[in-house]
């Protein structure tokens, strides 16, 4: 198995819980030191840091809102200071939208959701990619969503945000290929996270997400580790010639 | 201990190029392998003996998969050789160069049929013969080795692209039909990879004089794609790490 990121350092936005946490742990297991960003849940961030340290890797957590450029500057400077060169960036931080029709969607909500997914992603690329060009290899992974394919109703802010985030990825892949930087997208469907649980409760009245196992692909709801495995693959030697790609991890898009 | 311990694979066109790298990688992860070849028995024996040195079973079976009865025989003999097959890699193919890279309007119906038979009918025949017994396994995987031709649709590649597009259609349909049987179906689409077939193509196109490696410096990441790059994605897709992935295509082209 050559899914190895030994000696590298990774910055994971929204890395304290859910998918981001699984990615942080997955990359640490494959050999990386880890910087995670979190916004509110300091306790969860500290727990994730402790779990990574227990794996024998360096882990640091930085509080900040990725939509805020100055917050990003502060977090990135601290991370570069603490970990040295960062050659893996995972743009994972995100929020769901409220499920309104476009005609009922408050413009403020659109700005907020796009702020985190799109401006947050650009902020971190802007701050981290230049120093990544000096690395032996760089990887930027966007955690998008199958929403970019389904573009369902009552999801405009999220659909808009994820589509724009993917546009950054496909463009960045072309721009940075000469610097040995790969840019890829992992698109989860429904995953058992706090966000996923809230989603099925709000849209389908499901109290326990595991009730959905039976009707799910391969008889189980997707786990954060499924997403992490795909991310680690993209960052590994096995995917050295893979860039500008989007992989949906959702048990098939149907 | 490998990720594919106990798995049993059939790789069509497994003696050379991309297929050979896939065979080597699947075996190094623990799988027993049937290596199908068409013309180069010596190459097939070489890679088979490499697999056996890894402590894994290897069988070589000659068959032209573009011939329905031979594809059927290959499937039956493969299942007999290893007891069952739970990984099928549809890799065997012929390049557009083999039929002279014609424009769609000038391609002969016979040449077009050859390409369709090698990629689309062969894939269907092997799936039809192999997948039913795969349903009995804990997990099954079918991987189609397609091509970026089915995305770029460049001139003089139309008949080849049509064959690969039809092959991909088999994959996307099969993924939906067999998910309930825990069978994963995915596509790996190589770009320009350093193989004999690709070298023939770029020479035919007049893009190089002597060697495909003349293109390396201007290629993504300053190198050509290697057969091992394709094998890396195939191994990932067949592993536990990809147990929630089906119906997907990974393009391995540095772009």
Substitution target from A173, A252, A253, A254 for chain B, most B beta carbons within 10 A: A252
pLDDT for the residue B105? 85
Q: Dihedrals φ, ψ of A124, to 5°?
A: -70, -35
Question: What are the pLDDT digits (tens) for A128-142?
Answer: 999 999 999 999 999
Q: Do A226 and B226 touch (CB under 8 A)?
A: no
Share of chain A above pLDDT 90, in %: 94
Q: Which residues of A touch B (CB under 8 A)?
A: 1-3, 173-174, 177, 180, 217-218, 222-223, 226, 229-230, 232-233, 236-245, 247-254
Candidates A180, A222, A241; nearest CB to B229: A241
Q: Where are the domains of chain A?
A: 9-191+224-249
Those residues whose C-beta lies under 8 Å from the C-beta of residue B31, and which sit 6 or more positions away, are B2, B4, B5, B7, B8, B9, B56, B87
pLDDT for the residue A1? 47
Q: Do A247 and B226 touch (CB under 8 A)?
A: no
Count Cβ neighbours within 10 Å for each residue of A39-48 and write b for 16 or more, e otherwise: beeeebbeeb
Domain covering A9-191+224-249 assigned CATH 3.40.50.720 in the classification: yes
Residue ranges of chain B whose pLDDT lies below 70: none
pLDDT for the residue B97? 87
Strand partners, A33: A9
Q: Where are the domains of chain B?
A: 8-192+227-252
Q: Do B244 and A180 touch (CB under 8 A)?
A: no
Fold of B8-192+227-252: Rossmann fold (3.40.50)
Phi-psi region of A110 (alpha: psi -120 to 50; beta: other; left: phi over 0): alpha
pLDDT for the residue B104? 87
Question: What are the pLDDT digits (tens) for B15-69?
Answer: 999 999 999 999 999 999 999 999 999 999 999 999 999 999 999 999 999 999 9
Asked whether the beta carbons of B247 and A254 are under 8 A apart, the reply is yes
Band of pLDDT at residue A2, cut at 50, 70 and 90: low
Substitution target from B236, B237, B238, B251 for chain A, most A beta carbons within 10 A: B236
Distance CA A21, CA B233 (A): 24
Band of pLDDT at residue A177, cut at 50, 70 and 90: very high
User: Where would I find the beta strands (DSSP E) of B40-99?
Assistant: 58-62, 87-90
Question: What are the pLDDT digits (tens) for A80-115?
Answer: 999 999 999 999 999 998 999 988 999 899 999 999
- Residue for token pair 């120093």: A131
Establish whether A62 is a catalytic residue: no
Which residues from B are below 8 Å from A232, CB to CB?
241
Candidates A218, A240, A244; nearest CB to B243: A218
Asked whether the beta carbons of A141 and A188 are under 8 A apart, the reply is no
- Residue for token pair 């961030």: A45
- Residue for token pair 């794609």: B225
Q: Is some CB atom of chain A closer than 8 A to the CB atom of B179?
A: yes
**ipTM given for this complex:** 0.86
Question: What are the pLDDT digits (tens) for A21-32?
Answer: 999 999 999 999
């Amino acid at each position: 198995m050559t899914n190895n990121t030994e000696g590298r350092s990774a910055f994971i936005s929204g890395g304290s819980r859910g998918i981001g946490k699984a990615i942080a742990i997955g990359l640490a297991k494959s050999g990386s030191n880890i910087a995670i960003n979190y916004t509110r849940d300091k306790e969860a961030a500290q727990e994730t840091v402790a779990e990574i340290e227990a794996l024998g890797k360096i882990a640091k957590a930085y509080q900040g809102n990725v939509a805020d450029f100055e917050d990003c500057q502060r977090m990135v400077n601290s991370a570069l200071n603490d970990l040295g060169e960062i050659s893996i960036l995972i743009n994972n931080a995100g929020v769901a939208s409220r499920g309104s029709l476009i005609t009922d969607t408050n413009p403020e909500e659109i700005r907020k959701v796009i702020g985190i997914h799109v401006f947050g992603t650009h902020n971190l690329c802007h701050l981290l990619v230049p120093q990544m060009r000096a690395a032996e290899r760089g990887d930027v992974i966007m955690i998008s969503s199958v929403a970019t394919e389904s573009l369902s109703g009552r999801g405009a802010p999220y659909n808009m945000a994820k589509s724009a985030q993917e546009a950054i990825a496909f463009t960045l892949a072309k721009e940075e290929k000469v610097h040995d930087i790969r840019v890829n997208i992992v698109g989860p469907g429904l995953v058992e996270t706090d966000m996923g649980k809230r989603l099925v409760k709000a849209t389908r009245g499901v109290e326990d997400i595991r009730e959905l196992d039976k009707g799910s692909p391969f008889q189980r709801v997707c786990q954060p580790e499924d997403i992490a495995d795909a991310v680690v693959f993209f960052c590994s030697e096995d995917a050295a010639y893979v860039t500008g790609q989007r992989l949906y991890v959702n048990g098939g898009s149907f | 201990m490998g990720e594919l311990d106990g798995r049993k694979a059939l790789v069509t066109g497994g003696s050379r190029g991309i297929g050979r790298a896939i065979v080597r990688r699947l075996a190094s992860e623990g799988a027993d392998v049937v290596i199908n070849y068409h013309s180069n028995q010596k190459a097939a024996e070489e890679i088979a003996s490499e697999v056996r040195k890894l402590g894994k079973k290897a069988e070589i079976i000659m068959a032209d998969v573009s011939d329905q009865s031979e594809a059927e025989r290959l499937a039956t003999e493969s299942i007999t050789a290893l007891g069952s097959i739970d990984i099928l890699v549809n890799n065997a193919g012929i390049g557009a160069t083999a039929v002279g890279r014609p424009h769609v309007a000038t391609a002969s119906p016979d040449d077009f049929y050859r390409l369709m038979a090698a990629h689309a009918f062969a894939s269907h025949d092997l799936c039809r013969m192999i997948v039913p017994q795969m349903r009995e396994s804990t997990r099954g995987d079918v991987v189609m080795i397609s091509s970026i031709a089915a995305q770029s649709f460049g001139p003089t590649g139309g008949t080849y692209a049509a064959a690969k597009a039809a092959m991909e259609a088999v994959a996307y349909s099969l993924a939906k039909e067999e998910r309930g049987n825990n069978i994963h179906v995915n596509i790996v689409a190589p770009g320009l990879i350093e193989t004999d077939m690709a070298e023939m193509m770029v020479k035919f196109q007049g893009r190089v004089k002597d060697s495909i490696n003349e293109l390396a410096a201007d290629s993504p990441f300053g190198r050509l794609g290697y057969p091992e790059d394709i094998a890396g994605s195939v191994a990932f897709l067949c592993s536990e790490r990809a147990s929630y992935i089906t119906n997907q295509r990974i393009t391995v082209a540095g772009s």
